[in-house]
């Protein structure tokens, strides 16, 4: 697709929707969090739109950073979105290749369109991601660097190739955290480690109690005891 093609709204008489079920509507609503999450990840110069194909007159059912194109909830679908829909349906793909377009204000956007299909493989919605690359460079780049407050709150994330590796790395990281805390007495460190692992959700993983017990060189019954004491503390504070 050529650079600079304009995205425009279509006259209402050219729009017709599709028959939807309650399941279709619920499926589309399940993507609302994704819309906000993508916009938060890429920053204010990235517009993310969720279109429903049930009513093309008011197809926008969720939008983040809509100020980039001036759109709000209830806006109709665009001609370009319909063209992307035809491409998706004709090729059988679930997304388009990224393309360049211009908004009505002339802003250059790099965009992508992703199909949402129901259980019958019918396209019932579209996710359109529009990255406005005319934004001031320093503003665009700043979205991808943490603020001082975010640096203080950041936590390490463990990327593992197996559950055993995940548990082992998480235990090692937690041991390091506890060892750096001078307020924790040596004879209380294992209890604090198990408590921290509980709060991190590590015991939701099958067989993690045995793995933690081996790592800390304590019995699994001791691990169960620390977990039980932690849960009792939660109940007493409620």
pLDDT tens for 97-122 read 899 988 877 889 999 999 999 999 99
Domain contains 37: yes
Residues 26 and 112 grouped into a single domain: yes
Q: Are residues 59 and 127 in the same domain?
A: yes
| pLDDT at position 150 | 66
Which pLDDT value is given to residue 4? 46
Write out the E strands in the chain.
5-6, 46-52, 60-64, 99-102, 108-117, 123-132
Please indicate, yes or no, whether residues 125 and 220 belong to a single structural domain of this protein: no
In a domain, 148, yes or no: no
Cα-based angle 36, 55, 113 (whole degrees, multiple of 5): 45
The better pLDDT of the pair 5, 141 is held by 141
Dist. CA 129–CA 113, nearest whole Å = 6
Q: Please indicate, yes or no, whether residues 165 and 135 belong to a single structural domain of this protein.
A: no
Segments forming the whole domain that contains residue 215: 155-237
Q: Quickly state the pLDDT bin for 167 (edges 50, 70, 90).
A: confident
Residue 149 falls inside a structural domain: no
Q: How far is CA 220 from CA 22, 207, 225, in A?
A: 48, 10, 9
Contacts of 51 (CB under 8 A, 6+ apart): 59, 60, 61, 77, 81, 125, 126, 127, 128
Q: Is residue 150 part of a domain?
A: no
| Cα atoms in the Cβ-side hemisphere of radius 13 Å centred on 215 | 23
pLDDT at 7: 56
In this predicted model, what pLDDT tens digit does every residue of 73-101 receive, in sequence order? 999 999 889 999 999 999 989 998 899 98
pLDDT confidence of residue 107: 85
User: 169 and 62, same structural domain?
Assistant: no
Whether residue 50 lies inside any domain: the answer is yes
CA atoms lying within 13 Å on the CB side of residue 68: 27
End position of a domain, from candidates 82, 108, 142: 142
Whether residues 132 and 205 fall in one domain: no
196: in domain? yes
Which pLDDT does position 126 carry in this prediction? Answer: 97
Co-location of 30 and 109 in the same domain: yes
Examine residue 15 and state whether it is found in any structural domain, yes or no. Answer: yes
Average pLDDT on 43-58 reads 95
Residues 71, 138, single domain; the answer is: yes
- Tally of domains within the chain: 2
| Domain co-membership, 74 together with 185 | no
CA dist., res. 186 & res. 42, Å (int):
44
Using DSSP's 3-state secondary structure scheme, residue 50 falls into: strand
Average pLDDT over the chain reads 87
- Asked whether the predicted pLDDT for residue 1 surpasses 80, the reply is no
Look at residue 147 and tell me if it is in a domain: no
Same-domain check for residues 20 and 135: yes
pTM as predicted: 0.70
Which of 121, 142, 163 finishes a domain?
142
22 and 110 fall within a common domain: yes
The DSSP bridge pattern shows strands 46-52 and 60-64 to be antiparallel
Please report, for residues 53, 59, 93, 233, the alpha-carbon distance to residue 17 in angstroms, rounded to integers and kept in the order given: 6, 9, 21, 55
The last residue of one of the domains, among 109, 142, 175, is 142
Domain CATH code at residue 137: 3.30.450.20
Assess whether pLDDT exceeds 80 at residue 168.
yes
pLDDT at 43: 93
For residues 23 and 27, give the distance between their C-alpha atoms in angstroms, rounded to a whole number: 6
Q: Do 36 and 112 fall into the same domain?
A: yes
pLDDT confidence tier of residue 2, bands split at 50, 70 and 90: very low
């Amino acid at each position: 697709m050529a650079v600079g093609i304009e995205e425009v709204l279509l006259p209402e008489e050219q729009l017709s929707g599709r028959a939807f079920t309650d399941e279709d509507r619920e499926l589309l609503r399940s993507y609302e969090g994704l819309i906000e999450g993508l916009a938060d990840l890429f920053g204010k110069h990235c517009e993310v739109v969720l279109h429903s194909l049930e009513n093309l007159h008011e197809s926008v059912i969720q939008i983040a950073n809509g100020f980039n194109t001036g759109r709000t909830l209830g806006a109709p679908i665009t001609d370009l979105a319909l063209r992307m829909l035809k491409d998706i349906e004709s090729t059988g793909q679930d997304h388009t290749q990224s393309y360049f377009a211009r908004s009505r204000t002339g802003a250059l956007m790099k965009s992508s369109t992703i199909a949402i299909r129901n259980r019958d493989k019918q396209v019932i919605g579209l996710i359109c991601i529009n990255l406005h690359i005319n934004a001031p460079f320093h503003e665009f780049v700043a979205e991808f660097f943490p603020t001082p407050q975010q640096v203080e709150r950041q936590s390490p994330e463990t990327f593992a190739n197996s559950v055993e590796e995940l548990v082992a790395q998480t235990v090692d990281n937690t041991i390091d955290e506890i060892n750096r805390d001078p307020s924790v007495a040596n004879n209380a460190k294992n209890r604090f480690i198990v408590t921290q692992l509980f709060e991190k959700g590590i015991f939701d993983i099958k067989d993690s109690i045995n793995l933690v017990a081996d790592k800390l060189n304590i019995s699994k019954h001791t691990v169960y005891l620390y977990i039980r004491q932690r849960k009792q503390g939660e109940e007493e504070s409620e």
